[in-house]
Structure 1
Amino acid sequence: MRAQTEAPGGLGPWLAALHAASERLAAVVDALPERELSSPSRAAGWSIAQVLSHLGSAAEICTGLLERGVAGGTGGPTREEVEPVWARWDAMTAPARREAWRSADARHLQLLDSLRGGPGQEVRVPYFAGLLDLPAYAGYRLSEQSVHAWDVEAALDAAAVIPAGEVALLWRRLDLVATRFRDPVTLGRLAPAQLALDLTGPPGVVLLDLDAELHLYPCEPAQPAGTVSGTAEAVLRLVYGRSQDADHVQVTGAASLADLRALFPGF
């Protein structure tokens, strides 16, 4: 199991995973009545329809950013551009959000499909995080699509998990997520310490380094102050702020499971 800072390799695996995550979410929400669309998801404070609104508005905005990149533009999104999009989606009914998500998501994926191979693969996308190549951009989008799909699935089925193929890809860029979305107060309380993440499915050990900053490294700590044991999928969701008791993640040593949940509050 590797913890890397960017999406390595070509666009293909990331694009295939984006399609799979989209199809998985569509299969869950397509037949939901309005009452269930308005019920809570596993994303804190959001209904299922609000998750679809978040993903759909992002797909609309990102399609525009992709088109900008294809045209050679390098300017990132501005609040003046994105706020009217968010407001329009916020005003939709729950069923309308579902239909609009399907349409916006399909358009976004079609444009990404058209850029695979040939000159299109050299496109740079002026994203929120900066100017990105297509694999790195698709990694950001998979992080959103895959985890938010789980937010919906898990609200309807407590046994839902993120598929193994998506988990493997998301672990490649998990350091980006962990570094950005850690709680600074909790990090200051726990640091300095090195924790061994002892993973199964697939097996591997990752170093969680807690210091002035937090990082994940694809190696074993020399002197671990504690161990976090669990499936790669469950520990991934822990870092995304989506840990649940049924995951059976075990933490021993200098930190507790409660500490790690506080360290990774989610977003």
Structure 2
Amino acid sequence: MADLDAFLRDLAAESADLEALVADLPPQDWTRPTPAEGWTIAHQIGHLTWTDEVATLAAADARTGGTTFADLLTEAAPRVTTFVDEAAAEAAGAPAPELLRRWRHGRTELADTLRAVPGDAKVPWFGPPMRPGSMATARLMETWAHGQDVADALGVHRVPTDRLRSIAHIGVRTRDFAYTVRGLPVPGEEFRVELRAPSGELWTWGPADASEQVTGPVLDFCLLVTQRRHPDDLTLRATGESAAQWLNIAQAFAGPPGAGRKPGRAG
């Protein structure tokens, strides 16, 4: 529970930082396009609002044994390629103050519901089921990534924090998924990942003597695995053919292969 509380505090802090970017925007700025094609700032906040609400349903099912989340997936199956965009568009249609209130309420409800999930239960999700702590870090990743889209739309530079460690951890853990989702063979050997934290600390994953390595700033790695920047625009260094391949396919989020960003710009 201590770890869960820490993850939830990070999620709350990340959400608060993003809300500070949008809370005082004039109504017309909510319609600004973001690097995600067809999505405005309102779509980005609407998407986070909806996914927090869906995550709450999933966490409630993990606590009660219910099937609300599974039923939602079944209902959405005929629209598997469109229902996420549809939900974002529907939420984006609300006035900004209403959307912000809905988002705040959903964040609080999600945290309370995750805390109530029994320790041995897993929360169902669009990808593999996960423990409550992993769900909190997944929501952190999603909030940070969509917050980057908002920051790019506004031309704002966000100061990186050590909350990026959890996002980087997901990026490392999903290495094999990035290969399998593309139908590619998964490398048999472990990779070494060494990332410099905003504080200057070195964060590491994998054996120190691995022949395949990725090194660089943790911010760049997080931008890579959330596909918010093209690899050519980052200062990550790959040693080994497989590690270099991974930089071009890395994907920390569930779902089909993402289109990523074009080189030379955020969009």
TM-score normalised according to structure 1 size: 0.70
Rate the CA distance shift 1:69–1:237 in 2: closer, same or farther, 3 A: same
Rate the CA distance shift 1:221–1:34 in 2: closer, same or farther, 3 A: farther
- Equivalent residue for 2:75, pick from 72, 80, 89: 80
Rate the CA distance shift 1:92–1:58 in 2: closer, same or farther, 3 A: closer
The answer as to 2:206 corresponding to 1:233 is no
Displacement of 1:131 in angstroms is 4.1
- Equivalent residue for 1:110, pick from 108, 111, 116: 108
- Find the aligned partners of 2:112 and 2:187 in 1 and give their Cα distance: 46
Q: What is residue 210 of structure 1 aligned with on the other side? A: none
Rate the CA distance shift 1:107–1:67 in 2: closer, same or farther, 3 A: farther
Gaps of 5+ in 1: 1-7, 207-217
Code of the aligned partner of 1:243: R
Contact 2:43 2:88 in 1 (8 A): no
Q: What is residue 144 of structure 1 aligned with on the other side? A: 142
Relative to its length, the structure with more strand (as a share) is: 1
Rate the CA distance shift 1:181–1:152 in 2: closer, same or farther, 3 A: farther
- Find the aligned partners of 1:157 and 1:65 in 2 and give their Cα distance: 35
Contact 2:196 2:203 in 1 (8 A): yes
Displacement of 1:238 in angstroms is 1.2
SS in 1 for 2:11: helix
Q: Can you list the C-alpha shifts for 1:83-120, whole angstroms capped at 9, x where unaligned? A: 789646524555x2644543333233323443576x65
Code of the aligned partner of 2:210: A
Rate the CA distance shift 1:256–1:99 in 2: closer, same or farther, 3 A: same
SS in 1 for 2:130: strand
Rate the CA distance shift 1:235–1:87 in 2: closer, same or farther, 3 A: closer
Code of the aligned partner of 1:175: V
Code of the aligned partner of 1:105: W
SS in 2 for 1:199: strand
Rate the CA distance shift 1:204–1:88 in 2: closer, same or farther, 3 A: closer
Code of the aligned partner of 2:89: D
- Find the aligned partners of 1:70 and 1:256 in 2 and give their Cα distance: 39
Contact 1:63 1:107 in 2 (8 A): no
Code of the aligned partner of 2:152: A
Deviates further, 131-140 or 10-19: 131-140
Rate the CA distance shift 1:13–1:89 in 2: closer, same or farther, 3 A: same
Rate the CA distance shift 1:230–1:127 in 2: closer, same or farther, 3 A: same
Q: What is residue 196 of structure 2 aligned with on the other side? A: 200
Q: What is residue 262 of structure 1 aligned with on the other side? A: 248
Relative contact order, higher structure (CA 8 A, sep 6+): 1
- Equivalent residue for 2:229, pick from 243, 249, 266: 243
Root-mean-square deviation (CA, aligned residues, Å) is: 3.7
- Find the aligned partners of 1:181 and 1:98 in 2 and give their Cα distance: 35
Code of the aligned partner of 1:264: A
Gaps of 5+ in 2: 252-256, 259-267
Contact 1:66 1:125 in 2 (8 A): yes
Q: What is residue 9 of structure 2 aligned with on the other side? A: 16
Code of the aligned partner of 2:228: R
Q: What is residue 223 of structure 1 aligned with on the other side? A: 211
Contact 1:15 1:138 in 2 (8 A): yes
Contact 1:56 1:100 in 2 (8 A): no
Displacement of 1:246 in angstroms is 5.9
